[in-house]
Amino acid sequence: MDAAELVRLAQECGFELAGVARAEPLGEFDFYREWVEAGMAGRLQYLTDHRAALRADPRSLLPEARSVICVGKLYNTAAPGSAAVSGSSRGWISRYAWGDDYHAVVRDGLRRLLQKLRERTRAHFAARITVDAAPLLERALARRAGLGWIGRNTCLINQRYGSWFFLGELLVSLELEPGQPPPDRCGTCMRCVEACPTGALVPTGRREGPAWTLDARRCISYLTIEWRGTIPPDLRPNVGHHVFGCDICQEVCPWNRKAPFTAEPGFQPREYAPSLADLAALDEPQFARRFADSPVRRAGHEGLLRNVAVAMGNSGRMEWRAALERMASTASPLVAEHALWALARLEAAGA
């Protein structure tokens, strides 16, 4: 099977991007290991635990693998960017979480692709589908497969489609034609680095390999989604109105200016700029129902309320006093701490 036929099959399964990387040891693992050892993964244990070493070679997941089929699925929609709701009474949810949970959508597409491959080859071969959860260096493999280059914001960027796409992989024991990494087209642009409110994009000091990396401990997405504890007080003002994730480094990227929109029904926006008042009033069962099929459930009820309190404090809107006072007196100690901080911030702004 040649590359053109594989791309055609992938497109029939709903993927805009597809390519092949060899299943072999990845030199990029050295960068990954340095990043972890520098503490930049924060408390992301799934990146630093006993599974970390498995990322050195995709054959750790499928010993018979000879090729890794990498796919990309667009999730960009026509709704506005986060700047459109700045200073309003609304919070911001990262674009990737506006619709259905992408894991199921991408996995279903990969299942269809696997079935088509079996029908075309008419031969037995071993295979394994992965979507985000397996110990795999997805961006490194996607770059090797020709899907894009890794930008200064550490996102995979495609010249035609930008960076608004999910990645998935199909490991197979077939020998398929591999792609070639495209050239890095970030040039001298520093917009993502300059726009990051918390300074999470930092230089590596490397002469070889990536010149920039992400310090997760300062990233708004990490702080509002993955981090379960107290958001550092010095970073809270820069979290702004973000209640789940952050898109700023992608929104300012020139390669996303003309990024096409997805036709995938499951990714059409249901939640992107919800009322902070509505979110603050959610109890745990209501949270579970509202975000049952959404990535937002990953933050948890307590985590979302913590983020809402910070966003209210950053809004400068005195109308949130009553909601914050309620959160400070009735919510968990974690939420109460952030609500009290928010109240003090509002009072200082109104003084």
Would you name the residues annotated as active-site residues?
Answer: 132
Distances (CA, A) of 129 to 55, 108, 217, 234, 302: 15, 10, 30, 41, 32
In the DSSP assignment, the letter for residue 279 is H
CA distance 13 to 8: 9
Residues 6+ positions from 93 with CB-CB distance below 8 Å? 243, 244, 245, 271, 272, 273, 274, 296
CA distance 280 to 312: 10
In the DSSP assignment, the letter for residue 161 is T
Q: How many residues does the chain have?
A: 351
Q: Exposed/middle/buried for 116, CB within 10 Å: 0-12, 13-18, 19+?
A: middle
H helix intervals, 196-332? 220-221, 236-239, 248-251, 276-280, 284-290, 300-315, 321-330
Q: Which of 345, 287, 286 is nearest to 321 (CA)?
A: 345
What DSSP letter does each residue of 98-159 carry, written as one string?
A: SSS-HHHHHHHHHHHHHHHHHHHH-S---EEEE-SSSS--HHHHHHHTTS-EE-TTS-EEBT
